[in-house]
Amino acid sequence: MNEVDRKIQAALEACGNQAVTHTKQNIDKAGRVDTGTMMNSITHQVQDDVCYIGTNVEYAVYQEYGTKTIKPAHFLKDAMQNNLDEYKAIIESNLKG
């Protein structure tokens, strides 16, 4: 792996860690914490120059998008969209450093 690839991987890891933090904060703000299982399941994985954020908790999709009886929380979507400038700054900082 060359130096640029290492910097890209480091930037994606840093963005992933920050996105996990933002997602957990959004779950808490939305009042979607009962047992903490969903919040504690939020993780990230960097693979092939892509950073994936998510959970393996089956009911998380209903919390994210809502149902007839559950209002959508959009904790994942908002963690990404509301922090784009921060993620951009993380990437720029890692690539310069």
The two structure tokens encoding residue 68? 């007839």
How much is the pTM?
0.93
pLDDT digit string (tens) for 7-64? 999 999 999 999 999 999 999 999 999 999 999 999 999 998 999 999 999 999 999 9
Distance, in Å, from the CA atom of 2 to the CA atom of 90, rounded to the nearest integer, reads 20
Q: How many domains does the chain have?
A: 1
Give residue 71's domain range: 3-96
Question: Which residues lie below 8 Å from residue 15, measured CB to CB, with a gap of 6+?
Answer: 51, 87, 90, 91
